[in-house]
Amino acid sequence: MRQSASKPLVVLGLVIGCLAIWGCGEPRAPFAGNYRSETPFADKGHIELNLKENGEATWKLEKEMRELKFKWKVEGDHLFLYTREGAVMVATPTEGGKKLTVDMSGNWHPSCPVNQCLIFNKVSGGG
Protein backbone atom coordinates (compact mmCIF):
# COMPACT_ATOMS: atom_id res chain seq x y z
CA MET A 1 0.00 0.00 0.00
CA ARG A 2 2.82 2.36 0.84
CA GLN A 3 4.36 1.88 -2.60
CA SER A 4 1.21 3.09 -4.40
CA ALA A 5 1.04 6.21 -2.20
CA SER A 6 4.57 7.25 -3.21
CA LYS A 7 3.88 7.04 -6.96
CA PRO A 8 1.76 10.23 -7.05
CA LEU A 9 4.49 12.06 -5.12
CA VAL A 10 7.14 10.93 -7.58
CA VAL A 11 4.98 12.02 -10.52
CA LEU A 12 4.26 15.35 -8.86
CA GLY A 13 7.98 15.85 -8.25
CA LEU A 14 8.76 15.14 -11.90
CA VAL A 15 6.06 17.54 -13.10
CA ILE A 16 7.35 20.32 -10.82
CA GLY A 17 10.93 19.66 -11.96
CA CYS A 18 9.97 19.81 -15.64
CA LEU A 19 8.02 23.04 -15.11
CA ALA A 20 10.99 24.60 -13.32
CA ILE A 21 13.35 23.68 -16.15
CA TRP A 22 10.88 24.87 -18.80
CA GLY A 23 10.37 28.17 -16.97
CA CYS A 24 14.12 28.85 -16.94
CA GLY A 25 14.44 28.66 -20.72
CA GLU A 26 16.02 31.32 -22.86
CA PRO A 27 13.88 34.41 -23.43
CA ARG A 28 13.58 34.03 -27.21
CA ALA A 29 9.98 35.22 -27.61
CA PRO A 30 10.73 38.99 -27.79
CA PHE A 31 13.15 38.42 -30.68
CA ALA A 32 11.38 35.67 -32.63
CA GLY A 33 10.02 36.85 -35.95
CA ASN A 34 10.88 37.81 -39.51
CA TYR A 35 13.55 40.41 -40.24
CA ARG A 36 14.80 42.04 -43.44
CA SER A 37 18.18 43.68 -43.98
CA GLU A 38 18.06 47.47 -44.41
CA THR A 39 20.44 47.32 -47.37
CA PRO A 40 21.26 44.69 -50.00
CA PHE A 41 24.14 42.33 -49.20
CA ALA A 42 27.02 41.63 -51.63
CA ASP A 43 24.94 42.43 -54.74
CA LYS A 44 22.64 39.48 -53.90
CA GLY A 45 19.67 41.46 -52.64
CA HIS A 46 18.25 41.85 -49.19
CA ILE A 47 18.56 39.14 -46.55
CA GLU A 48 15.43 37.61 -45.05
CA LEU A 49 16.10 36.39 -41.51
CA ASN A 50 13.53 34.24 -39.69
CA LEU A 51 14.08 33.53 -35.99
CA LYS A 52 11.76 30.89 -34.55
CA GLU A 53 10.94 30.59 -30.85
CA ASN A 54 12.25 27.02 -30.79
CA GLY A 55 15.81 28.23 -31.53
CA GLU A 56 15.80 27.39 -35.23
CA ALA A 57 16.38 30.04 -37.87
CA THR A 58 16.81 30.60 -41.59
CA TRP A 59 18.84 33.17 -43.53
CA LYS A 60 17.88 33.67 -47.18
CA LEU A 61 19.29 36.01 -49.82
CA GLU A 62 16.68 37.41 -52.21
CA LYS A 63 18.55 36.48 -55.40
CA GLU A 64 19.55 32.97 -54.32
CA MET A 65 17.31 29.94 -54.20
CA ARG A 66 18.78 28.40 -51.03
CA GLU A 67 18.42 28.99 -47.33
CA LEU A 68 21.04 28.75 -44.64
CA LYS A 69 19.68 27.02 -41.54
CA PHE A 70 21.14 27.62 -38.12
CA LYS A 71 20.41 27.73 -34.40
CA TRP A 72 20.17 30.80 -32.20
CA LYS A 73 20.05 31.67 -28.54
CA VAL A 74 19.81 34.71 -26.30
CA GLU A 75 22.63 35.31 -23.87
CA GLY A 76 22.78 38.56 -21.95
CA ASP A 77 22.21 41.50 -24.29
CA HIS A 78 23.09 39.60 -27.47
CA LEU A 79 21.74 36.95 -29.80
CA PHE A 80 24.16 34.28 -30.94
CA LEU A 81 23.56 32.70 -34.35
CA TYR A 82 25.28 29.32 -34.85
CA THR A 83 25.72 27.90 -38.36
CA ARG A 84 26.06 24.18 -39.01
CA GLU A 85 29.62 24.78 -40.18
CA GLY A 86 30.54 26.16 -36.75
CA ALA A 87 30.54 29.89 -37.44
CA VAL A 88 29.06 32.21 -34.84
CA MET A 89 27.51 35.60 -35.59
CA VAL A 90 26.69 38.03 -32.81
CA ALA A 91 23.56 40.18 -33.10
CA THR A 92 22.76 43.10 -30.84
CA PRO A 93 19.04 43.85 -30.51
CA THR A 94 17.80 47.41 -30.10
CA GLU A 95 14.42 49.10 -29.96
CA GLY A 96 12.97 46.21 -27.99
CA GLY A 97 13.99 43.64 -30.61
CA LYS A 98 12.62 45.58 -33.59
CA LYS A 99 16.14 46.06 -34.92
CA LEU A 100 19.12 43.68 -34.96
CA THR A 101 22.70 44.70 -35.67
CA VAL A 102 24.82 41.75 -36.84
CA ASP A 103 28.61 41.88 -36.71
CA MET A 104 29.91 40.17 -39.88
CA SER A 105 33.59 40.83 -39.15
CA GLY A 106 34.30 37.38 -37.74
CA ASN A 107 35.42 38.96 -34.46
CA TRP A 108 33.20 40.27 -31.72
CA HIS A 109 33.31 44.05 -31.20
CA PRO A 110 31.48 46.10 -28.56
CA SER A 111 30.05 48.07 -31.47
CA CYS A 112 29.69 46.72 -34.96
CA PRO A 113 32.34 47.92 -37.48
CA VAL A 114 30.45 50.12 -39.95
CA ASN A 115 31.68 48.41 -43.12
CA GLN A 116 31.05 44.92 -41.70
CA CYS A 117 27.73 45.47 -40.05
CA LEU A 118 24.28 44.31 -41.17
CA ILE A 119 21.19 45.96 -39.76
CA PHE A 120 17.89 44.09 -39.81
CA ASN A 121 14.42 45.49 -39.19
CA LYS A 122 11.61 43.30 -37.86
CA VAL A 123 8.84 43.00 -40.42
CA SER A 124 6.58 40.60 -38.51
CA GLY A 125 6.45 39.06 -35.05
CA GLY A 126 6.41 35.43 -34.01
CA GLY A 127 8.58 32.83 -35.56
Cβ neighbours of residue 108 closer than 8 Å, sequence gap 6 or more: 90
Task: Kindly list the structural domains of the chain, giving each domain's residue range(s) and its CATH number in brackets, ordered by start.
Answer: 33-125 (2.40.128)
Beta bridge pairs of residue 51 = 33, 57
Task: Give residue 107's pLDDT.
Answer: 72
pLDDT at residue 66 is higher than 80: yes
Task: Give residue 86's pLDDT.
Answer: 85
pLDDT at residue 14 is higher than 80: no
Distance CA 109, CA 112 (A): 6
Q: For the chain, what is the mean pLDDT?
A: 80
Lowest mean pLDDT among 13-22, 29-38, 67-76, 106-115: 13-22
pLDDT digits (tens, 9 = 90+) for 85-124: 888 888 999 998 999 999 887 776 667 777 788 999 999 9
